[in-house]
Structure 1
Amino acid sequence: MEDNLTFAITVFTGFFAITNPISNMTIFLSLTEGADKETKRSINKRANITAFMIVAIFVLLGKFIFEMFDLSVPAFKIAGGILVFFIGFEMLQSKKSNVKNLKNVNVDENIAFSPLAIPILAGPGTIVTAMNYVSDPTFLKICIVICIFGLLSLTTYFTFRLSDFVVKTLGTNVISVIGKVMGLIIAIIGTGMVIAGIKIAFDLSS
């Protein structure tokens, strides 16, 4: 029971850092600038539902994907860890990750799918993180990961709903600091994934 609770907390921390709903508020606001409240709500809802479905599919089909492409757990952890670390490192440097680079996006409801759902909410880093948690899957672990990401999607939905109020209250400087902290957490998570992959590959004791 305690191991499952620890695992759930780890998953929540990882997903919260990589999806970064607080920093993503500014992206949501910039993409929906000029839209009325009803349109913003529709885009917000569709984006989070789509992101949840994408991650859930990868979590459920993770084992099949591993077998189909003949992926090994150590290789996936190492490659995935490097990718996650790179995203965190870019955030620490106050850069937008290349997978989140947004230019010349028109305000219409299609932005709910791209770029909001993909790649901002369910980008490569999020998918890699999710699949890493189920690289050695059990039914309970799969359920925990899906439920935790569902909780994060709900959190992101309400965060975006309150985005105008929060940004005005906290200011862009505070949002930027939060983004850097999240970047550090993501970089640490990525490093941990690489270390775990190396340990498995060389059969090193923990």
Structure 2
Amino acid sequence: MNLLLAGLHTLIGLIVIVNPLLGVSAIATLTSGDSPAHRALTARYAAMTIAIVLIAAALAGEFLLGLFGISIPEFKVGGGILILLMAIAMLNATPGNTRQTPEEQSEAQDKRQIGVVPLGIPLLAGPGAISAAIIYAQKSGGPIGMAILIVDILLVAAIAWLAMRSSDVLSRLIGQTGINIATRIMGLILSAIAIGFIAQGLLVLFPVLAGPAAG
């Protein structure tokens, strides 16, 4: 039960960080004028990119950090700050430069297949989502927890795919104002997740912050 509850928390966190609604706005902009078949293919490539990148980060991220001599607590602080910057941008209903710079956005207009870059990575499965996948993997607690995390990642990719495939319907249904409101709400949740990551890392790096109980 604890693993399933943790898996649910992880799923919610990943959905908020990846933010499929951002994919709805982005695919509408980046594929304007494309045929429905090409837009569907773009959505599929983006969802596959999300799944592959985040699963790879979950499986190999801690090992790669070890090669650079970076501990998980240090990474939690750095990753938490990055995610907090994303949350602040979401509160302003903007993607923010931590996901995609204006130069990358301009370059994307010239790409024939933008499902992988920049839509899949860095817009949806960007540094923040990769950081979260590594942190959640470290917290998974073993093979069963890791399997649940991988299922969560696949579910997030599927949700993103459904959102992008239905971008026209969703845009008409809730409009840009509705998307912005939902993005701000997710930004608020994401800021709390980011603060949690930072606090967890700082308590390990500086046990004195825990107060007398640490002794």
Code of the residue aligned with 1:74 in structure 2: it is P
Structure 1 distance, partners of 2:165, 2:199, is: 38
Aligned twin of 1:96: 95
- Cα separation, partners in 2 of 1:80 and 1:36, compared to 1, 3 Å: same
- Determine if contact 2:84/2:191 at 8 Å carries over to the other structure: yes
* Residue ranges of structure 2 left out of the alignment (5+ in a row): none
Aligned twin of 1:84: 83
Report how many residues are paired: 205
Backbone CA RMSD of aligned residues: 1.7
Q: Which piece of structure 1 moves more, 105-114 or 60-69? A: 105-114
1:140 counterpart SS class: helix
Q: Deviations over 1:85-143 (max 9, x none)?
A: 01001111233210234235336542111111110121000000110112255212221
Q: Deviations over 1:41-76 (max 9, x none)?
A: 111111111221111111111231132111112101
* Residue ranges of structure 1 left out of the alignment (5+ in a row): none
- 2:111 aligned with 1:120, yes or no? no
Give matches, 1:1-206, under 5 Å.
2-98=1-97, 99-101=99-101, 102-103=105-106, 105-106=108-109, 108-136=111-139, 137-203=141-207, 204=210
Code of the residue aligned with 1:49 in structure 2: it is M
Q: Which piece of structure 1 moves more, 78-87 or 104-113? A: 104-113
Query: Could you tell me how far 1:23 is from its partner in structure 2?
Result: 3.3
Q: Deviations over 1:173-206 (max 9, x none)?
A: 1111001111111111100100111122234469
Structure 1 distance, partners of 2:47, 2:172, is: 23
* TM score, norm. by length of structure 1: 0.93
Structure 1 distance, partners of 2:110, 2:36, is: 13
Structure 2 distance, partners of 1:175, 1:133, is: 27
Structure 1 distance, partners of 2:115, 2:92, is: 27
Code of the residue aligned with 2:121 in structure 1: it is I
* TM score, norm. by length of structure 2: 0.89
- Determine if contact 2:86/2:128 at 8 Å carries over to the other structure: yes
Code of the residue aligned with 1:72 in structure 2: it is S
